[in-house]
Amino acid sequence: MKRNVRLTFHLILTGLIICSILSCKKHSTSTDYAPKPDPAILGLWSHYFKLNSITVKYYLRFKNSGKFDAAYSEDSLDLVTDYGSFSTNGNEIVMIDADNAPNSVCKSMKGIYTYSFQGNTMILTTVSDTCYTRSYSTPGLWTKN
């Protein structure tokens, strides 16, 4: 009788351990499961927009880390004016400027855009953006550099 009780106890304990291990794997909080940005959007992009009567070249660089930086400059990213984080979901990109971006007027503000591609051109279209400056300079045709 004692032997049957011990055997039953060991079987139950073994079952609980196996269930616990399987449960932990299923509900892991590992960063392996964190969404990665769409690879097509990664890299350095540029486009022109009008600011009053001046044509401005604007650069955006999307990194695999989910970070971006931006610059208004003649020579690529010589003068980074802004940076923050972004995420993609389907054909939508969400950009949020960093709180500590020194030249940003959009600190912590969220911009949502759709994106599509035609060859090496990306088209960004505003869905909503709480930052006027970004909403003015970001939509349009972007060329991959």
pLDDT digits (tens, 9 = 90+) for 75-89: 555 566 778 999 999
Q: Does residue 91 sit in the same domain as residue 45?
A: yes
Tokens at 105, concatenated: 């007027």
Quick one: 102 and 57 in the same domain?
yes
pLDDT mean over 95-100: 88
68 and 100 within one domain: yes
Residues 8 and 79 in one domain: no
| pTM reported for the whole predicted model | 0.71
**Domain with 113 in it:** 39-144
Rounded to an integer, the average pLDDT of 42-66 is 89
Per-residue confidence band for 13, with pLDDT thresholds at 50, 70 and 90: very low
Per residue in 117-140, pLDDT tens?
998 899 999 999 998 888 888 999
Q: Are residues 45 and 106 in the same domain?
A: yes
The three-class DSSP label of residue 79 is coil
pLDDT in tens, 20-42: 444 444 433 333 444 689 999 99
Measured CA to CA, the distance from residue 103 to residue 27 in angstroms comes to 40
Q: 22 with 54, same domain?
A: no
Check residue 116 and give its pLDDT: 97
Verify that 68 and 116 share a domain, yes or no: yes
For residue 69, what is the domain's CATH number? 2.40.128.490
Please count the other Cβ atoms lying within 10 Å of the Cβ belonging to residue 136: 13
How far apart (Å, rounded) are the C-alpha atoms in residues 78 and 90?
31
- In a 3-state reduction of DSSP, which class is residue 29? coil
Question: What confidence score (pLDDT) does residue 52 get?
Answer: 81
**What integer best gives the mean pLDDT of the chain?**
77
For residues 124 and 60, membership in a common domain is answered with: yes
Both 119 and 105 in one domain: the answer is yes
Q: Are residues 29 and 43 in the same domain?
A: no
Report whether pLDDT(61) > 90.
yes
Phi, psi of 109 (to 5 degrees): -85, 145
Domain count, the chain: 2
* Same domain for 91 and 44: yes
Please check whether residues 107 and 47 belong to one and the same domain. Answer: yes
Position 55 scores a pLDDT of 82
| Residue of 52 and 28 predicted with greater confidence | 52
In the chain, the N- to C-terminal Cα span, in Å, equals 78
**Residue from 22, 21, 20, 74 nearest 46 by CA:** 74
The partner residues of 92 in beta bridges, in order of sequence, read: 89, 114
